[in-house]
Amino acid sequence: MANASGFASPSIPTLRTQTNPSGFRISRSGVYPFERINKWVFQCNAVVGKVESGVSSSQSRLPRVGQGCKLVGCGSAVPNLLISNDDLSKVVETSDEWISVRTGIRNRRVLAGNEKLTNLAVEAASKALQMAQVDADEVDLILMCTSTPEDLFGSAPQIQRALGCTKNPLAYDITAACSGFVLGLVSAACHIRGGGFQNVLVIGADSLSRYVDWTDRGTCILFGDGAGAVLVQACDGNEDGLFGFDLHSDGDGQKHLNAQIKNGNVDDETEKLGSNGSVLDFPPKRSSFSEIQMNGKEVFRFACRCVPQSIVSALEKSGLSGSDIDWLLLHQANQRIIDAVSTRLEIPPERVISNLANYGNTSAASIPLALDEAVRSGRVKPGHTIATAGFGAGLTWGSAILRWG
């Protein structure tokens, strides 16, 4: 279970425990070292390690002392329709040079026709399971990180159904915009360490093209659609692959990046008043969301200031330094942000993962999409240490230090 300071430390059982106060110590860093954990005594009516017939897996699931987690599979999927900068120049006043110089983006993929975001998510998740050699029925939790579900009440259960998970594992959505995937990774680790889950699918998928004002060249040039997924699997503590994390939010920054709900307006005074002169607020008018509104300069300043601080904090909590990082993998929002953060952290360009030019900003999908391409191309190899960070609307931001494989 991750402790309050952001460490991915050994699990602390939720059942009652007994320890030897004189022998139990906590290190200065806040981590519970595996070699210093005394014997935990579980006091419960069930017999640990023995599950009677007829008891469901959720009832028998117990956290294990020192249990860790690791990333063992990844996958991604994008829509068929490719929109280039030249294509956009026919819709708004812009050019390939204007867009690429300011953002680093040259193409993006956009959902069209009968394509659905959930289908992309299922495809990405299936590829992750295939790489990990894990059957759908072995998955016991699905986390769908998205701000654009195709159902108001969430898309995760539909993904669970489409994958063919016949044991009805828990599936739910996480909404944290472009930080969503990092929050999903940390949530998966907490479920594994504190809840005894074994195989957790973390999916990042978004279709922000549906909420873009395609007449606003300040925002429509940035966003694309896509999905990416990883399988996070339980392992022994000495194989743990999530070393530390750092998560934040700041509601004061919401004014700089949002897509707020808008209610139907009633201008006719006769519609506002009832026959007895009372104000009519019922039935409510149907609501919808506005297009994405963004103050680009403020979001740029926020990212360049907060993201490096967050990564440094996560590294400190992990007991690592920048020289220990094999790869820097940031949310793919703007190449200028990626360059500014890597420069501040003194990480050379050849150790920075970026596929922004081909896909644009795919929100919660950007990190797993870039990771999948890097793994399948052979750049990221088992054992490599990755510093990753997401940042975006909310405002939210967070980072995690992890090992692939």
Q: Which residues pair with 223 in a beta bridge?
A: 361
DSSP string spanning 348-367?
-GGGEE--HHHH-B-GGGHH
State the virtual CA torsion across 402, 248, 313, 27 in degrees, nearest 10: -80
Per the annotation, the verdict on 306 as an active-site residue is no
Choosing from 69, 165, 178, 190, which is the catalytic residue? 178
Retrieve residue 108's tokens: 């993006």
**β-strand partners of 75:** 229
Please calculate the CA angle 387-344-245 and round it to the nearest 5 degrees.
30
Q: How far apart are CA 320 and CA 69, in angstroms?
A: 18
Close Cβ partners of 52 (under 8 Å, ≥ 6 residues apart): none
Which of 74, 220, 331, 334 is catalytic? The answer is 331
Locus of tokens 């940042």: 391
Distance CA 162, CA 179 (A): 25
Catalytic residue list contains 114: no
Is 256 designated active site? Answer: no
| Cα distances (Å, whole numbers) of residue 33 to 28, 66, 124 | 11, 9, 36
Q: What is the helix (H) or strand (E) element at residue 52, kind and residue range? A: none
Q: Are 378 and 399 in contact (CB under 8 A)?
A: no
From start to end of 49-198, where are the E strands?
A: 67-77, 81-84, 107-110, 141-145, 170-174
Active-site annotation holder among 119, 199, 258, 361: 361
The strand pair at 288-289 and 261-262 is best described as antiparallel
Dist. CA 267–CA 253, nearest whole Å: 31
Q: Which positions are catalytic? A: 178, 331, 361
